[in-house]
Structure 1
Amino acid sequence: MSPAEDDGPTGIRCRLDELLVARGMTLTRLSELVGVSAVNLSILKNDRARAIRYSTLAAICRALDCEVGELLAIDRD
């Protein structure tokens, strides 16, 4: 089975919660800025997302003034 077909953990961790706290921003406010529902952002924040569009990733990074590498990290555990 190729890695793209694997349904197991990806090993990628989303640091959205940490970035929101550091910037004093709520998930609701980020939702308004990015144009993505708070429910979908919550799925991303809680590491339950299976995929993310580059346009959404870019919009989140613009809203949080961060780089992709600050938002997504490889879980080395």
Structure 2
Amino acid sequence: MITVNLDVMLAKRKMSLTELSQAVGITMANLSILKNDKAKAVRFSTLAAICQVLDCQPGDILVYTAKRTNSAS
């Protein structure tokens, strides 16, 4: 499972979603979908633009977490 921590990076950079939207040229609606972990995909060009504006690495925004399975021992 991939989790999007865009809100964390925005807080660290003291930047609003509106400011990021204007700087990157991506609609607020699309950034909100990404920020709220509702996106099914993200383009590398979008990720690169966000990382450039936030001065971060993709791994600062995207985090992989293994799904836990409920298995009886």
**Please, what TM-score do these two structures have when normalized by structure 1?**
0.83
Between the aligned partners of 2:58 and 2:6, the Cα distance in structure 1 is 11
Unaligned 5+ residue runs, structure 2?
68-73
Between the aligned partners of 2:19 and 2:4, the Cα distance in structure 1 is 18
Between the aligned partners of 2:55 and 2:49, the Cα distance in structure 1 is 10
**Please, what TM-score do these two structures have when normalized by structure 2?**
0.87
Identity between Structure 1 and Structure 2 (%) = 52
Of the three residues 7, 15, 19, the one matched with 1:25 is 15
Of the three residues 24, 48, 53, the one matched with 1:58 is 48
Tell me the SS of whatever aligns to 2:52: helix
Structure 1 outlier segments of 4+, above 2 Å: none
Offset of 1:75 from its aligned partner? 2.3
Residue 47 (structure 1) aligned with residue 37 (structure 2)? yes
Provide the alpha-carbon RMSD of the alignment: 0.9
Unaligned 5+ residue runs, structure 1?
1-10
Q: Report the number of matched residues.
A: 67
Higher relative contact order (CA 8 A, sep 6+): 2
Q: Which protein shows a greater Rg?
A: 2
Residue 67 (structure 1) aligned with residue 61 (structure 2)? no
